[in-house]
Amino acid sequence: MKHTLSVLVENKPGVLARVSGLFSRRGFNIDSLAVGVTENPEISRMTIVVEGDDRVLEQVTKQLNKLIDTIKVSDLTAEESVERELMMIKVAAEPKMRSEIMQIADIFRARIIDVSPKTMIIEATGDEEKINAMEALLKQFGVKELARTGKIALTRGLKSV
Amino acid sequence: MKMVSKISGAEAFIECLCKENVEVVFGIPGGSLLPIHDALYDSSIKHILVRHEQCAAHMADGYARATGRTGVCLATSGPGATNLVTGIANAYMDSVPMVAFTGQVPTGMIGNDAFQEADITGITLPITKINYLIKDVNNLPKTIREAFHIASTGRPGPVLVDIPKDVQIMESEFEYPKTFNLRGYKPTIEGHPLQIKRAIKAITDAERPIIYAGGGVIISNASEELRALAELTLAPVTTTLMGKGAFPESHPLSLGMVGMHGTKYANYAMTETDLIVAVGVRFDDRVTGKLNAFAPNAKVIHIDIDPAEISKSVSVGIPIVGDAKRVLKELIKGLGKKPRTEWLKKIEKWKKEFPLRYDRSGKTLKPQFIIEQINELCPDAIITTEVGQCQMWAAQYFKSTKPRSFISSGGLGTMGYGFPAAIGAKVGCPDKTVIDIAGDGSFQMTCQELATAVLNDIPVTVAILNNGFLGMVRQWQELFYDKRYSATYLGTTSPDFTKLAEAYGALGIEVRKPSEVKSAIEEAVTSDKPAVIDFKIDPEENVLPMVPAGAAINEMIDYEG
């Protein structure tokens, strides 16, 4: 089962290496990892999607907590949370195909952020399923390049982690 | 305006060490450490010059295990730093408080593949509790304060601090911080009251309890509490290799060591118990053997300061995260005596029926006999060991009675550890007799430290159980690889160890017969010199009993008949 972990860490050099090294060393699989600073410039939030059963998750959580630079680890899977991912996709777009691509973008509430004579770049945010669905639909036009951020997430409402 | 004088990073380094009450550092200088060694020259801190940085780390490690204080080692950038790696990994696996300082190329050259540059913080990432690269001299005191705090608290372990040469030279106003904020590091010390309550109930209900004690008991200085718990509950006590000395092995409730080369009665008791009280242990594979056959009928109480050890390999019914000493005190408060006559009778029977044994006829020189003689002549000695057969014979036949008196590389299994660890232990405990139980293979990995022992007048004894083989590997080849002794014969290629000792200015003694053992040990330990005894033992003696790899711990190989 996939779990989304929200991990608050010290915003210091080497912390990302510590966390990613921990995963490979202990044989845990990371599906995605997104890092960025929080409202407090001294603290970064890592959102890590990890695959594993309860036993694996327990070990991942404990090992993450054991890192001195880790401030807090929360498993958002069981929480009411909002999850988003950002994708930028560059597709082949001859002028006659543009309107069709724009329609698809509209349906997914995505935006066109670059147009060239032969390509378009579409920016989309959403949960993983939406992003996957959109990518599948755009494949027919020919995907030139694709970049995804990995998931970020927050709990809903007043509660914070 | 208050005038504060500025001092260099190297001087600040010395000040920090003084504030941490460091009396000795083990190290080797180098280009990137020149300012620090220059500052050391005038300081009250003793610097012990070693011959290989790996041994500086092992000495700091042996010093720490023998004294309970944090060991400190020092190496220059590049190869000096990478030579520390085995020593740091060793300390990490066995939870030894250590701070390793390394010189680094100047900050402006980092990342440039400069001469003698190595990314030592990158390299030691998985084998340190935390490590630091100090880029600003103003952060030096705070960093060193944190390093010592983290190394010595919670589950102890090594911390590395990398100090570029220009940071050692730059000046700043020195102030040693009184407080610091480590929001991500707050070890749990007190056990959870509810879990303690559950544990008390489980112990009270148990018919066949066993206490399984490890290095955590020694680290937490909880031996007295452990003994009180055992005597109160009349539960037999088995220890791990790391736990040797946590409970007196002369005690009637002692089962000796458990696991692959443990006693049969410890392994039988572990298999038949209905409750394991595990204290400061990690259910290592050398202890549990085949996991699904390990203690099949037992509930498990696991007391450990590291939450990540709970249920890592064996599921735990009653976890208690906390300091062993505190938790044991709480447990004792809630427990009463309970007779467990049947269980103890059964154990007595096993002890009589399946004692540790070897051929005592005296026809050949047996390693077990040598250990027994050392035990008899020097029962209060600090024993360090190398790794392999010598280590297991020492663990089986030396009856440790006090904590911090049996020092061995448990987790990493580092050959060459015992001799430098003995030197470190002797530096920390100069009034104790310190003996390294060695093999001819292991000793040759770090024997150059004879120079360190002689130069600094550190009289330790190395007892080489010389069988001319990499003995433990040979034993496995004999038992599981049709006696195909591939690359394990050392015999004719090893030096004459007595002459080697003499060449360094140490005492060398050769022993071939059982009748010479006693006088050789007496001569070595009273010589007041570093001494090497070359015991020419029976080359094909094995360590038995033994649990073969992958078997359950009650399925042991032993001598026939």
User: Is there a single domain that holds both residue A69 and residue A7?
Assistant: yes
Q: Which residue of B has its CA nearest to A70?
A: B184
Query: Domain for residue A160, yes or no?
Result: no
Last residue of a domain, one of A21, A52, A79: A79
B345 catalytic, yes or no? Answer: no
- State both tokens at B110: 């980092």
Residue B237 and residue B161 share a domain? no
Report CB contact under 8 Å: B308, A62: yes
Q: Is B193 on the interface with A (CB under 8 A)?
A: no
Whether the bond between B545 and the residue before it is cis, its omega within 30 degrees of 0, is yes
A6 and A75 in a single domain? The answer is: yes
Residue B181 lies in a domain: no
Q: Do B125 and A55 touch (CB under 8 A)?
A: no
Residue B178 lies in a domain: no
Residue numbers of the domain that contains A123: 82-154
Q: For residue A60, give the chain B residue with the closest CA.
A: B308
Beta-carbon count within 10 A of B103 CB: 29
Q: Is residue B518 part of a domain?
A: yes
CA B237 to chain centroid:
20
Separation of alpha carbons B320 and B432, rounded Å: 36
Answer for the pair A70, A44: CB distance below 8 angstroms, yes or no: no
Domain match, A9 and A53 both: yes
Residues 6+ apart with CB under 8 A from B33: B27, B74, B75, B76, B77, B80, B103, B165, B168
Q: Tell whether B111 lies on the interface with A, counting CB pairs under 8 A.
A: no
| Residue B311 touches partner A, C-beta closer than 8 Å | yes
Q: Do A66 and B311 touch (CB under 8 A)?
A: no
- Unique residue bearing structure tokens 């399984």: B212
Indicate which CATH number applies to the domain containing B487. Answer: 3.40.50.970
Residue where a domain terminates, one of A79, A103, A122: A79
B530 and B445 co-located in one domain: yes
Q: Are residues B349 and B373 in the same domain?
A: no
Does A65 contact chain B (CB < 8 Å)? yes
Residue B220 and residue B286 in one domain: yes
> In terms of domains, do B125 and B169 share one?
yes
For residue B310, the model assigns a pLDDT of: 96
Residue at B321: amino acid letter: V
Say yes or no for a CB contact (<8 Å) between B126 and A69.
no
Strands (DSSP E) found in B469-559: 507-511, 531-536
Question: Is residue B413 situated within a structural domain?
Answer: yes
- CA B134, CA B102: separation in Å to the nearest integer? 11
User: Are A86 and A133 members of one domain?
Assistant: yes
Among the partner residues B122, B133, B308, nearest to A66 by beta-carbon distance: B308
Catalytic site includes residue B443: no
Asked whether residue A124 falls in the same domain as residue A59, the answer is no
Collect all residues of chain A within an 8 Å Cβ-Cβ radius of residue B185.
Answer: 68
Residue B470 belongs to some domain of the structure: yes
pLDDT at B493: 80
- Tokens 């054991």 belong to A66
End-to-end CA distance of chain B: 86
For the four alpha carbons of B357, B362, B365 and B369, in that order, the dihedral sign comes to: positive
Asked whether residue A56 is assigned to any structural domain, the reply reads yes
Dist. CA B88–CA B83, nearest whole Å: 10
Q: Which residue of A has its CA nearest to B130?
A: A68
Sign of the alpha-carbon torsion through B35, B36, B37, B40:
positive
Known active-site residue B257:
no
Q: Judge if A66 and A134 occupy the same domain.
A: no
C-alpha radius of gyration, chain A, whole number: 18
Among A79, A95, A112, where does a domain finish?
A: A79
State the residue range of the domain holding B84. 6-173
Both B130 and B245 in one domain: the answer is no
pLDDT at residue B1, as a whole number: 54
Strand blocks (E) in B136-266 = 158-164, 171-173, 209-213, 237-239, 254-257
Q: Is A10 in the same domain as A52?
A: yes
Q: What is the mean pLDDT of chain A?
A: 94
- Are B12 and B38 members of one domain? yes
pLDDT tens figures, A28-57: 989 999 999 999 999 999 999 999 998 899
Q: Are residues A59 and A113 in the same domain?
A: no
Residues A113 and A145 in one domain: yes
Q: Is B165 a catalytic residue?
A: yes
Per residue of chain B (561 residues), give pLDDT as tens.
556 689 999 999 999 999 999 999 999 999 999 999 999 999 999 999 999 999 999 999 999 999 999 999 999 999 999 999 999 999 999 999 999 999 999 999 999 999 999 999 999 999 999 999 999 999 999 999 999 999 999 999 999 999 999 999 999 999 999 988 899 999 999 999 999 999 999 999 999 999 999 999 999 999 999 999 999 999 999 999 999 999 999 999 999 999 999 999 999 999 999 999 999 999 999 999 999 999 999 999 999 999 999 999 999 999 999 999 999 999 999 999 888 999 999 999 999 999 999 999 999 999 999 999 999 999 999 999 999 999 999 999 999 999 999 999 999 999 999 999 999 999 999 999 999 999 999 999 999 999 999 999 999 999 999 999 999 999 999 999 999 999 999 987 899 999 999 999 999 999 999 999 999 999 999 999 999 999 999 999 999 999 999 999 999 999 986
Q: Which two tokens stand for residue B504?
A: 């360094």
Are B161 and B50 in a shared domain?
Answer: yes
Give domain status of residue B547, yes or no.
no
Could you tell me if A115 and A132 lie in one domain? yes
Give percent of chain A above pLDDT 90: 85
**Does the distance separating the beta carbons of B182 and A70 come in below 8 Å?**
no
Active site residue B445: no
CA distance B133 to chain A (A): 10
Query: Is position A159 within any domain?
Result: no
> Would you call A31 helix, strand, or coil by DSSP?
strand
d(CA B556, CA B561): 14
A11 touches chain B (CB under 8 A): no
Residue A39 is part of a domain; what is its CATH number? Answer: 3.30.70.260
Neighbour order of strands in the sheet with A29-37: A29-37, A43-51, A2-10, A70-75
Residue A50 in domain: yes
Distance from the A158 Cα atom to the nearest Cα atom in chain B, whole angstroms: 23
The domain tally of chain B equals 3
Number of domains in chain A: 2
* Strands of the sheet with B275-279, listed across from one edge: B254-257, B237-239, B209-213, B275-279, B299-304, B318-321
Eight-state DSSP code of residue A78 = G
Contact of B29 with B101, CB cutoff 8 Å: no
ipTM of the complex: 0.89
Q: How far is B525 from chain A (nearest CA, A)?
A: 43
Q: What is the tens place of the pLDDT at every residue in B175-211? A: 999 988 899 999 999 999 999 999 999 999 999 999 9
Q: Which amino acid is at B343?
A: W
With H, G, I as helix, E, B as strand and everything else as coil, classify residue B492.
helix
* In a shared domain, residues B229 and B333: yes
pLDDT for the residue numbered B3: 63
- DSSP collapsed to 3 states, B72-119: EEEECCCHHHHHCHHHHHHHHHCCCCEEEEEEECCHHHCCCCCCCCCC
